[in-house]
A = this chain, B = another copy of it.
Amino acid sequence: MDDGHLPDRLAAPFDHVSLRRHNLAVVLGKLRDGGPRSRARIATDTGLNKATVSSLVAELSELGLVRDGDVERAGGVGRPGQTVEVDGRVCGLGAEVNVDYIAVLVLDLRGDEVFYRRIPVDVPSLGAQRTLDELARAIRSTVADARTAGRYVAGVTVALPGMVETAPGVLRHAPNVGWRDIGVADGLSARLAEPASLDGPDSPDSPDSPDGAGSLEPIRIPIRVDNDANLSALAEYVMGSSAGVPDLVHLTGETGVGGGVIADGTLLRGNHGFGGEIGHMPIGDPNQPCGCGRFGCWETSVGLSALLREVANPADTITDPSVDLEVRLHEIRRRAQVGDGRTLRGLEAIGTSLGLGAAILVDLLNPRVIALGGYFAVLGEYILPAMEAELDQRAVLPGRGGCRIELSSLGFKAACRGGAHVALEAVLTDPASVAATPGAPASADAVDELTGGVA
């Protein structure tokens, strides 16, 4: 049998096919995290024997996941080593539904962003079903474009602005867009599984549109859904400025305030995947009504409405929702930079309220980092001093448990990036699964033969 890898903890009974799959994942993970290297070095790094490594690399190459890289010349005797590297053809697609836009983002297996598109959509007015129509159209054309460019999308994860049950793929409730009990994963799967006409011009050279009559073939692809704040936290943990910090809280300032918790390197999801719902702690101004129907929730003090109320009068253009949010935030930032008193006092008030809630999170979760995303990051330097002062005063942990506050560098793409990462994770965990992806070089039959020969 092949050499095996040791588990962290007690595991399922032994099984040769599973061991093979696991070792495929070990080799792919080593190349992705450690960079290109020769088969001999992979053998040394992993403890697998050389024949096993060669066979695993051959299968990964067949699957389109790795390819030959540069030749390594180490000087001295022995033949020069041919390196192996991760192939960027396999991609993950992250999508996002927010209050006033939908977005799609494609990351390849090497971690490079290869596509991003944000489409303005008035989601509350359009409603769930027509928004899903739009999203399916965006996903379909992105998948088709990727194929045309010689890439294939292995999975889709959709970030949603509300409480998501991840296992059935259902959005339970999203007050800010007015959705309730929407089967997003099934709804998108059904739309993508139908042949569909393109509104815009077709890609005439797409090998997957044999009829060439303005329609696209059905797409069968794994679709997952998750809460946007959870996916943003994951993106921060995997590829943000706080990458690798195992105890991390991510707070996104938007219409509401989104929370995502990484505990000991794992996203805290809880019983139904609802974990991280942090905006409704009763620590805000008890006179402020909240979208949830109550008064005094935390997000009434730190959400976007609170920001706009603090820094501007209703007639001010920065309160105009028809102006792009990023434009308005940069105007607030500009005013702060020139020392506008109202703006500075408003941002200080937001910081103080943010620190009050952060103290609860610090004491309960003892994170090493609280990362601020969304508008908190854009205006961070003016919010942070008051936030830190309040946190120091309120947290009961000595030295606030060593917690730092950091500004996320991922901007408003964080949720999409987290989604694309989750889609790729499935490939990294079980590389052979990619054979089921439309357009992948190895068919499912070919993979069965390969693994069957080992068991």
The interface of chain A, by Cβ under 8 A from chain B, is 1, 3-15, 18-19, 22, 25-26, 29, 45-48, 163, 172-173, 247, 259, 261, 263-264, 266, 268-283, 292, 294, 356, 359-361, 363-368, 394, 396-398, 401-403, 429
Known: A280-B396, A396-B292. A13 touches B365 (CB 8 A): no
Shortest Cβ gap from A48 to chain B (Å):
7
Shortest Cβ gap from A358 to chain B (Å):
12
Question: Is B366 a contact of A271 with CB atoms below 8 Å?
Answer: yes
Shortest Cβ gap from A233 to chain B (Å):
13
Dominant SS among interface residues on chain A: loop
Shortest Cβ gap from A46 to chain B (Å):
6
Known: A270-B401, A271-B402, A398-B173. A45 touches B10 (CB 8 A): no
Given contacts A10-B29, A15-B47, A276-B364, 9 further A-B contacts (CB under 8 A): A5-B7, A6-B15, A6-B18, A6-B19, A10-B25, A247-B271, A269-B366, A270-B368, A360-B360
Quick one: closest B residue to A271, CB to CB?
B368
Question: Is B6 a contact of A8 with CB atoms below 8 Å?
Answer: no
Shortest Cβ gap from A288 to chain B (Å):
16
Shortest Cβ gap from A303 to chain B (Å):
14
Task: Give the complex CA separation of A366 and B278 in angstroms.
Answer: 11
Checking B45, B173, B268 against A13 with a beta-carbon cut-off of 8 angstroms, the contacting residue is B45
Question: Is A263 a contact of B268 with CB atoms below 8 Å?
Answer: yes
Question: Is A11 a contact of B5 with CB atoms below 8 Å?
Answer: yes
Question: Is B270 a contact of A365 with CB atoms below 8 Å?
Answer: yes
Q: Residue among A270, A280, A292 with the most chain B CB within 10 A?
A: A270
Q: Residue among A259, A278, A360 with the most chain B CB within 10 A?
A: A360
Quick one: closest B residue to A4, CB to CB?
B4
Quick one: closest B residue to A264, CB to CB?
B266
Question: Is B5 a contact of A8 with CB atoms below 8 Å?
Answer: no
Task: Give the complex CA separation of A196 and B272 in angstroms.
Answer: 54
Question: Is B271 a contact of A367 with CB atoms below 8 Å?
Answer: yes
Question: Is B367 a contact of A14 with CB atoms below 8 Å?
Answer: no
17 example contacts (A-B, Cβ-Cβ < 8 A) are as follows: A3-B14, A4-B5, A4-B6, A5-B10, A8-B9, A10-B25, A10-B26, A13-B45, A264-B266, A272-B402, A274-B401, A275-B364, A275-B365, A277-B364, A281-B281, A283-B283, A360-B360
Task: Give the complex CA separation of A271 and B263 in angstroms.
Answer: 9
Task: Give the complex CA separation of A359 and B270 in angstroms.
Answer: 14
Question: Is B275 a contact of A366 with CB atoms below 8 Å?
Answer: yes
Question: Is B398 a contact of A172 with CB atoms below 8 Å?
Answer: yes
Task: Give the complex CA separation of A269 and B366 in angstroms.
Answer: 7
Question: Is A268 a contact of B264 with CB atoms below 8 Å?
Answer: yes
A276 partner residues in chain B, CB cutoff 8 A:
364
Question: Is B269 a contact of A163 with CB atoms below 8 Å?
Answer: no
A13 partner residues in chain B, CB cutoff 8 A:
5-6, 45-47
A47 partner residues in chain B, CB cutoff 8 A:
13-15
A45 partner residues in chain B, CB cutoff 8 A:
13
Task: Give the complex CA separation of A427 and B22 in angstroms.
Answer: 27
Task: Give the complex CA separation of A364 and B298 in angstroms.
Answer: 13
Quick one: closest B residue to A181, CB to CB?
B398
Shortest Cβ gap from A47 to chain B (Å):
3
Known: A11-B7, A13-B5. A356 touches B282 (CB 8 A): yes
Task: Give the complex CA separation of A284 and B358 in angstroms.
Answer: 17
A360 partner residues in chain B, CB cutoff 8 A:
281-282, 360
A14 partner residues in chain B, CB cutoff 8 A:
3-6, 46-48
